[in-house]
Homo-oligomer: A and B are copies of this chain.
């Protein structure tokens, strides 16, 4: 996202950008190198004094990032220049033990694991907060009637609490997916050149175990230099989460339309302001949720494709990960932050909801009429009759109630008062309230 800095945090939060910044990436690699030194000292592969010196030297703030970048251009990866600087900082005695028995990808992968773990935790926090806020919204608006819409047409009445519950319902599973992904990704990478720890002789596995312990990671049965499923799964979990946030944003964008006006993004002075049209309130947060999610969806195949690596460490596919993974998390941070802000600050116009519901003069509950008639006329006949009435109402711009009342087959079964009662939208929210109750109950269980 070059050039994107002037977009501020619209495409990613400062906190998440920090996790994947050059400085923090170097810090993560240094944390791995230092932990490796300590692990090797614990197992007796290198002297404890060397481990101490390396640990002390592994301070990212002392490293020359430009020099690392310049040398990465030549070598192909930043690890060699980084270890060279680390060895210099550690001094000649300790310096020769830096990166002992490791391969470039051991360091890069384990560092990425540390960053991904932090990134997944950041997202989870936002999602959990969003769940709480949406739960309160669902409770508050449990019985506020509005038009339910399918294919962007009024269909049947629902409540805004129900709509909030539908936004909320998939989120607890997403939290679970994030946690599963975090647990699967929490693995140390340490195998040396081809994953066999050949350089460390009999003590390789012990070093690996100690390294995992130092970093709070799991020790997998096999090296995963060429098994990228953990990162790809994390990407999928994040994309699935953002898919549900994009559904939320899609609804808000539509509910905020001038002609609908039922829900509004939170307003700050200048927010969503047009440079030319003072009356505008653009759905900025929602737009960036949608854009971020599309960006994420596009990155998922990159991470899936990176799985098809060759042999013990791969040639090309793997190189897409440093491109795709940080960006995916940064975009997800934007989606999550915008969604949380939206859930917290959105303004709801309950009166407008009710007015919109009445826009179609009872047409919205025509299914109910259809169902009522179906009991005596059968489904098909009822459907046909009501469709005819609806067509007439739409064509003639007469209220649906009036048209129905004029139909002999209807008139002989219902008087006007019955019809009007029958056509009161508030009677037809069906199971909406119970859906809200169940979704909220599940939260308190979970």
Contacts and interface: CB of A to CB of B under 8 A. Distances in A.
Nearest to A28: B3
A390 to B, nearest CB: 4
Contact of A301 (B79, B297, B389): B297
B309 A294 contact: no
Interface string A402-446: 000000000000000000000000001111101100110110000
Name A's interface SS. helix
Contacts of A330: 2
Contact of A431 (B205, B294, B313, B367): B205
Nearest to A235: B236
Interface string A306-345: 0111111111111110111011001100000000000000
Interface in A78-132: 78-80, 82-84, 87, 92, 95-104
A184 B92 CA distance: 57
B253 A227 contact: no
A71 B271 CA distance: 9
A259 to B, nearest CB: 4
B359 A152 contact: no
A41 interface: no
B75 A271 contact: yes
A213 interface: no
A331 B161 CA distance: 39
Interface size class of A (residues with CB under 8 A): 35 or more
A396 interface: no
A184 B236 CA distance: 15
Given A298-B299, A386-B278, A435-B222, A254 B307 contact: no
Most chain B CB within 10 A, of A10, A155, A194, A258, is at A194
A228 B80 CA distance: 38
B254 A310 contact: yes
Contacts of A61: none
A310 B251 contact: yes
Interface in A287-310: 287-302, 304-305, 307-310
